[in-house]
Structures are given as C-alpha cells and as structure tokens.
Amino acid sequence: MSTMLAEGDDLSGAEKVFTFFRDALLNGTLKPGERLLGERELSLRLSVSRPLLREALRSLAMLGFLDIRHGKGAYVRQADINVLSDFFTFSLAQQPDILDDVMQARIAIECQAIRLACERATESDLKRIGSKLTRLMDTLHDPIEGGAADFAFHQAIVEAGHSEALATLYGAIGELLRRSHVQRREVTVSEPGIVDYLVEAHREVFLSIVDRNSDAADRKLRDHFAIGDEFRRRSLISAFARRPQT
Amino acid sequence: MSTMLAEGDDLSGAEKVFTFFRDALLNGTLKPGERLLGERELSLRLSVSRPLLREALRSLAMLGFLDIRHGKGAYVRQADINVLSDFFTFSLAQQPDILDDVMQARIAIECQAIRLACERATESDLKRIGSKLTRLMDTLHDPIEGGAADFAFHQAIVEAGHSEALATLYGAIGELLRRSHVQRREVTVSEPGIVDYLVEAHREVFLSIVDRNSDAADRKLRDHFAIGDEFRRRSLISAFARRPQT
DNA sequence: GGCCTTACAGTGGTCTGACCACTGATTCCC
DNA sequence: GGGAATCAGTGGTCAGACCACTGTAAGGCC
C-alpha cells in the first residue's frame, strides 16, 4: 500500500496511469493472476477520475495485459502472443511487401532454435518432431494439409529449442507464416521433383537434430530455405512461361 | 430464446466502437493521414458517450493506429511496428529468468542480420560500423561508456542488414539488452586479457563483413558470443574464489 | 435438513454535462 | 505592417449518477 506514492507529475493523466501500471508490471509488483483493486478505489489512489483510469485500463486490456471481467474485476494476465499476431496481420494489410522481410526473421529464429534443439531436445521432443515429419509425408499432395504439416514441423523444432524468447518471437510471426505456407504449397505443388525434395530436405534436417549436430542442422535448414526460394522462383517463371501458350 | 444470439452483435459498447474503427481501417474507409471527426461529433454518430468513445480511441492510439493531438484532433496513422518494442519489453520482462534466454534471441537476430549485412551493406554502413568500432576501442576501460559502445557496434551491424523485421525485433529486445550490457562489462572488465580479446573479436567480425563473407561473419560472431560467455563464467568463478580470502 | 429462490453488495459499464488546456487563426491595437 | 490579445474548436479531465453483471448470503419452500 505504502508503495503507491506520487512522484513525477510531469506526465499527463492517462500517461501517468499507464506508466504506473507498466512499471508495476515490469518490476514485478503486479504478477500474472493477481487481481487489481476496484476502479473506484484505484482512481482515488492514483488521483485521477474513473473515466481516465478506465482509458488506461482499457488500453492495457487491449494489449492483452489485463483481463477485465464484468462484475468481477480486472486481473493481470500473462501477455498474450495472439495480440502480436493480430498486430502483424493488421499492419500487413497496409504494407504488403513486408512478407519477404518476415522470412528473414523466420530464418534467424529457426536457425538459432535448431542449434538449441540439438543441445536441449528431449526424447519426447524428437518424437514430436518425428511425428510431424510423418504427417508431412502423408499430406504431400494436399496444399492445405501439407502446408499446415510443414508449419507444424518447423514449429516443433522451435519448441524443442526450449527458449521462451525465441518461441515468443516465432509465435508473433506465426500467423503470417501459416498463411504464406499454404500459398507457397499451392504454387509449388506442381513443380517437378518438389515432392521428393520436400521429404528429403525435412528428413535431413530432422536427422541432424537427432545427431545433435548443431552446425549441420543450421546448414541443412538454411539450405532448405534457400532451395525453397529457388523452387518458388522457378515455379513462377514456368507459370509465366506457360501463360502465353494457353 | 433471446439468449441465443449469433456472435457478432452482442458486443459491448466499447468493443463496438473499436470494431467499427478497426474495420474502417482494414477496408480502407479510413486512410492514413486522414483526420477523424471531433470526439463530440463522433460520439453522437456512433450513439455512445464521449468517455466511452475515448476509451476506444485511446486504445487505438496505444496500438499505434491513431495519433491524437491535443487541440488539433485525431489522425489515422500508418500502423507503427515500433509499438511491438513496448510489447516485447512487457511480455518478456514478465517472465523472471528470461534475460539469459533473450540472449538466444539476440544471437539469432544478429547472426542472420550479419549475413544480410554481408550482402547488402553500403559503404556508409561499413563506415558507420567502423566508427563504432573506434569508439569501442576508445572506451575499453569505462564500463558504462564501453557497454554503450559495444551495444552501438552490434546495433550498427543489424541496421546494415537492411531488414525491417530484424531491426524491429532487435529494437524490441534492445531495452533488455542494454540493461545487461553494462552489467556484464562491470563484471568482466577486470578479467585478464579481456581488453585485448574485445578489440580483436570485434575487429574480426567487422573485417568479415567488409570481406562480404557471410559464413565467416556468422561464425566469428557466434564465437564472440560464446567466448563472451566463457569470460563471464570465469570471472564469476574467480569472484567467488576471491571472496573467502577477503 | 437440504435445495432452490431471492435479495444484496460489490464490481465493471455507461451516461450526462460541465470545465480546463492546448492549438491555430482571426482580430485588434500600436 | 507587425505583433499581441482574443476567440472558437478541439482534446483532456472531472464528478456524480445510474445500469448490468456476478457471486454470495439470507430467506423460503419442500
């Protein structure tokens, strides 16, 4: 209680409230699951009106840091990654050429995660990755299912890295990746040799992890991305080449 | 029977307003730069009170979609990726022992960025990185200045990668990184050989970029991080070893 | 006595109407 | 003509009231 003291008054009201909660969340005064005081009580302590307090609270809720339930109260929530996905998806609507760039982030995260996975993956991690690989092989000719399986495979690798930070970042761009995955499959599914390649590439990546060989795994994964680009490029070319004939 | 409602219309007031604007932004009814009607006018049109409208507006502003200026009005803004930085700082800081883990994300981003930098860096990029290197060498014995210079060097590399997504993610963890940088310098500054090592390691990384050798740059950087860890570990050991003697 | 219903207190949800503070342009005085 | 005072429009803030939802405790029915 006594920790709630007014310090800098230079900020505007809403900013002041927002900052107060941000700091409280950052330095651990407020922990996930905890329940906030009532709005009336809080507005008194922070010396702001209830509507103003609500503006700040609502904003925090919108960002996923609070869960406000009618008739019960406001609860601190572990930040929700879904907000990030929404945000990415949203800003993509205004800036479509960012997708290639997101791919760079994806490579960065996965290549580091796979290194960690080589050190940290448990038996059940490996088993999970393996099962995704099986699923991938079973759905090779279905763009939608296949794309999903592909994504699941890569996601399992990231999880096997057991790094919260990497998983968080990956989750943030996950929605965008999921979308592009299916699209890409649709484009390349008819490309000759693609099926064999897909199986082989993913299998090699998987085996590198089982081998616990970080450098090899990194390299295989990097190659996989590069060759994927190449297939897509080729497929685009042939698509345009076919067009005049039809 | 009235309890059975199709999802969609049962939104509460604030949600309704928020959704209204979100849709307007998504389908292009509202374009960046455009000015919104006044709050009083808007609250009339949407049949909600001004405080309620403000809750929604403030939330949108917090997400970076609006720019509200006192005495002027609210303007639609191009979605700003930078709010992600705040978000990450929040969501990562909530998890206690995340700092070591953030380091993994840092390695992931920098190693990919340096690969891109080898391909994309301009002359002025290289010049900028070089100047940071000089600054780093001039501040070797000052933990605070030295830590800042160290961070600036690495940041310059990421920027030289010219990837919006990577730079954004790096900025997102930047705040957490900055905190640990100075700390680490304070711990290791007394370690024998550290000064020579720091100069040499950074110089090698820099030269690899100038050489446009992606693989080498990646490797050098990775080594640099690994050895930094080693120094810190050794320094911790000797710190504990000394304690009983004093 | 046990279960269902009801009433109540606490909480978020919303509204009204007022006043303050900032911005920009207009007007007025020098 | 130039600078300062003025004013209208806008967001910023406030107080107090009432509504709607939730969980619980008191009460009534079986």
Query: Could you tell me which residues come within 8 angstroms of residue A232 by beta carbon, excluding any fewer than 6 positions away?
Result: A184, A187, A188
- Kindly state the tokens that stand for B184: 């680490």
pLDDT for residue A8 is more than 50: no
B182-232 tens-digit pLDDT: 777 777 767 777 888 889 999 999 999 999 999 999 999 999 999 888 877
Distance from CA of A190 to the nearest CA of B (A): 31
Helical ranges in chain A per DSSP H:
13-26, 39-45, 50-62, 81-94, 99-120, 123-138, 143-160, 164-188, 194-210, 214-242
Q: Which residues of B are less than 8 Å from A87 in CB distance?
A: 63, 79, 83-84, 87
* Predicted-assembly ipTM surpassing the 0.85 threshold: no
A100-140 tens-digit pLDDT: 788 899 999 999 999 999 999 999 999 999 999 999 999 98
Q: Are B232 and B170 in contact (CB under 8 A)?
A: no
Per-residue b/e over B176-200, b at no fewer than 16 CB within 10 Å?
bbeebbbebbeebbeeeebeebbee
Rounded, the Å distance between the CA of A51 and C1' of D14 is 9
Q: Are B218 and B111 in contact (CB under 8 A)?
A: yes
Percent of chain B residues past pLDDT 90, beyond the cut: 40
pLDDT for residue A245 is more than 60: no
A31-76 tens-digit pLDDT: 888 899 999 999 988 888 999 899 899 888 888 888 999 889 999 9
Question: Rounded to the nearest 10 degrees, what angle do helices A81-94 and A164-188 cross at?
Answer: 40
pTM comes to 0.72
Which range of A20-24, A178-182, B110-114 scores highest in mean pLDDT? It is: B110-114
Predicted pLDDT at B94: 64
Predicted pLDDT at B87: 72
For B233, other C-beta atoms within 10 Å of its C-beta total 11
B37-94 tens-digit pLDDT: 999 999 988 889 999 999 899 888 888 888 999 899 999 987 766 677 677 766 666 6
Beta-carbon separation of B84 and A81 below 8 A: no
A71: CB within 7 A of chain D nucleic strand: yes
Q: Are B56 and A45 in contact (CB under 8 A)?
A: no
Give mean pLDDT, residues B139-152.
87
What is the number of CB-based contacts under 8 A between chain A and chain B? 132
Q: Cα angle vertex A181, ends A175, A187, to 5°?
A: 145
Beta strand pairing call for B73-76 and A66-69: unpaired
Predicted pLDDT at B63: 82
Predicted pLDDT at A139: 92
Question: Rounded to the nearest 10 degrees, what angle do helices A143-160 and A164-188 cross at?
Answer: 160
Residue with tokens 């609507």: A93
Predicted pLDDT at B11: 62
